[in-house]
């Protein structure tokens, strides 16, 4: 059997190298040939405690032996405990659990539309941001502002008005009697780590208050400690009405959450649900993850490693004539002077370092939140080797 035919039963949904990963431990992945990689993608900012952390394997095995799926028709202890933990540590009063970030965002969109139908004469339009990313269901693709998704899967779900990030005037101009909410990522992750400014987020809060709109933060990527605070809204100094979480909250298993202020919670029985939503197996993992993050010093470590990574990337940028370093905490990006992000990530992988090119001219780094100082240094050293080798081969950057 040729190597490629071994993968032919899987639908082609993305370009993948012919590598099969078989094991992961902490910041390290191992492929089927025994090659080890330092993983600075971590399941796409998902494995916040690294690969196979003991607290998650324990939570999974204990809960699997106890109760996996009593059905969403009944309460279960892990879901109650996780909802309590989330509300005790955020500005929200209510939680709905989902299985993916897109599904949590779908819930946010539905909640806003329901609220509009009850309190704003059927207003349903949601203002979202150009280059924003909210997921791959039809509604969340429609809410997203990825330019190359235009024209895909038409007709899209109507009711999403796109404006430029950090353009408060454009948001103001887009508000009409049909508007019910403004939805955005505090830092655009998939777009290449582009932060919304604090002034913009505060301006949005004011606009929302003036016009009776809901402010929705998609914290699927920025939440759960990624930026060095539990949630990004805490750094911005504004409280959204609705927030979605995904990725890190499950530490690697499918878990997401929709959080809302009490005043906004208007779902009635039958409006929202899902077979696996709030299942105790995943909720038990969520509890383990959040409890690990609430340990004294955990978020401080994230901030310290983030500064170390950003400073190191800045040195590399100066040394090799690269672009700006953006981000906060352990969501960092390095701009490249040419569109060779894919070549750089491939060369890095050859050397045993896994990073992501969020855009052709942008490298993105999202290591485990408990990555060690040595591992950050190793990442920077390997990346330096990549750029040295690239320069020797006469490639710009
Ligand atoms: C990853 C991501 C999503 C989608 O999450 P899935 O679990 O892939 O559905 C939504 N919003 C943001 C900001 C993301 O980074």
CA 314/CA 128 separation, integer angstroms: 31
Closest ligand 1 atom, residue 254 Cα: 7
**Which residue among the candidates 40, 92, 96, 133 is catalytic per the annotation?**
133
Shared-domain flag, residues 200 and 279: yes
Q: What is the pTM of this model?
A: 0.97
Per-block average pLDDT, block size 10, for the chain (397 residues)?
Answer: 65 91 98 98 97 98 97 96 98 98 98 98 98 98 94 96 98 98 98 98 98 98 98 97 98 98 97 96 98 98 98 98 97 96 97 97 98 98 96 65
8 has catalytic annotation: no
- Please check whether residues 199 and 289 belong to one and the same domain: yes
In a domain, 194, yes or no: yes
Q: Tell me which of 221, 255, 364 to substitute to probe ligand 1's pocket, judged by most ligand atoms within 8 Å of the beta carbon.
A: 221
* CA dist., res. 132 & res. 187, Å (int): 9
Give residue 52 CA to ligand 1 midpoint distance, Å.
Answer: 22
Nearest ligand 1 atom to alpha carbon 100: 7
In this prediction, residue 395 carries a pLDDT of 63
Decide if 275 is inside a domain. Answer: yes
Residue 101 CB–ligand 1 contact under 6 Å: yes
Domain match, 316 and 377 both: yes
**Do the domain assignments include residue 397?**
no
Pocket test for ligand 1, best of 194, 220, 223 (most atoms within 8 A of CB): 220
Does the annotation count 133 as an active-site position?
yes
Residue 261 designated active-site: no
Which ligand 1 atom is the nearest neighbour of the CA of 99? 7
User: Do residues 16 and 77 share a domain?
Assistant: no
Q: Which pLDDT score is estimated for 1? A: 40
Catalytic residue among 39, 218, 241, 361: 218
Query: Which among 302, 317, 325, 316 has a CA at the least distance from the CA of 373?
Result: 302
Contact yes or no for 351/388 (Cβ under 8 A): no
Ligand 1 binding pocket includes 188 (Cβ within 6 Å): no
Do 154 and 234 belong together in one domain? yes
Cβ 277 vs Cβ 96: under 8 Å? yes
In a domain, 151, yes or no: yes
User: How many domains are there within the chain?
Assistant: 2
User: How high is the mean pLDDT of the chain?
Assistant: 96
Closest residue to atom 10 of ligand 1, CA basis: 134
Query: Which residues partner with 362 through β-bridges?
Result: 335, 359
3-state helix, strand, coil in the chain (%, to 5): 40, 20, 40
Interval between CA 47 and ligand 1 midpoint (Å): 14
* 220 in contact with ligand 1, CB cutoff 6 A: yes
Cα–Cα distances in angstroms (integers) from residue 99 to residues 90, 250, 336, in the given order: 20, 9, 35
Give CA–CA dist 367/355, Å, rounded: 9
Give the CATH number, domain containing residue 46: 3.90.1150.10
| pLDDT computed for residue 7 by the predictor | 76
Cβ–Cβ < 8 Å for 141, 135: yes
Cα–Cα separations (whole angstroms), residue 150 to 101, 124, 145, 153:
21, 21, 8, 9
Judge whether 19 and 363 are in contact, CB under 8 Å.
Answer: no
**Residues spanned by the domain of 386:** 5-52+296-392
């Amino acid at each position: 059997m040729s190597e490629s035919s071994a993968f032919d039963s899987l639908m082609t949904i993305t370009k993948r190298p012919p590598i099969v990963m078989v094991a992961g431990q902490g910041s390290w992945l191992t492929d089927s040939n025994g090659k080890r990689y330092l993983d600075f993608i971590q399941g796409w900012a998902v494995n916040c405690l690294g690969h196979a952390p003991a607290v998650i394997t324990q939570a999974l095995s204990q809960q699997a032996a106890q109760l996996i799926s009593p059905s969403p028709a009944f309460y279960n202890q892990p879901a109650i405990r996780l909802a309590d933990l989330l509300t005790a540590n955020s500005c929200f009063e209510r939680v709905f659990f989902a299985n993916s970030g897109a599904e949590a965002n779908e819930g946010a969109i539905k909640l806003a539309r329901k609220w509009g139908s009850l309190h704003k004469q059927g207003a349903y339009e949601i203002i979202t941001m150009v280059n924003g990313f909210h997921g791959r269901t039809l509604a969340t693709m429609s809410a997203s502002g990825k330019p190359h998704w235009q024209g895909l899967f038409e007709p899209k779900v109507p009711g999403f008005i796109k404006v430029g990030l950090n353009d408060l005037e454009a948001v103001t101009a887009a508000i009409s009697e049909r508007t019910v909410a403004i939805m955005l990522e505090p830092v655009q992750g998939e777009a290449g780590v582009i932060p919304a400014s604090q002034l913009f987020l505060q301006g949005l809060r004011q606009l929302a208050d003036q016009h009776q709109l809901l402010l929705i933060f998609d914290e699927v990527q920025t939440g759960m400690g990624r930026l060095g605070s539990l949630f990004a809204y805490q750094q911005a100094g504004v409280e959204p009405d609705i927030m979605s979480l995904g990725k890190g909250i499950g530490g690697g298993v499918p878990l997401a959450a929709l959080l809302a202020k009490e005043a906004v919670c208007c779902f009635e029985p039958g409006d929202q649900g899902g077979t696996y939503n709030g299942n105790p197996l995943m909720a038990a993992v969520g509890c383990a993850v959040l409890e690990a993050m609430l340990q004294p010093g955990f978020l401080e470590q994230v901030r310290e490693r983030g500064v170390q990574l950003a400073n190191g990337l800045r040195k590399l940028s100066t040394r090799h004539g690269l672009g700006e370093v953006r981000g906060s905490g352990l969501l960092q990006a390095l701009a490249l002077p040419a569109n060779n992000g894919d070549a750089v990530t491939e060369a890095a992988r050859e050397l045993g370092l896994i990073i992501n090119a969020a855009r052709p001219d942008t490298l993105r780094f999202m290591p485990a939140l408990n990555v060690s100082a040595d591992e950050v240094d190793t990442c920077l050293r390997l990346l330096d080797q990549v750029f040295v080798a690239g320069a020797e081969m006469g490639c710009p950057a």
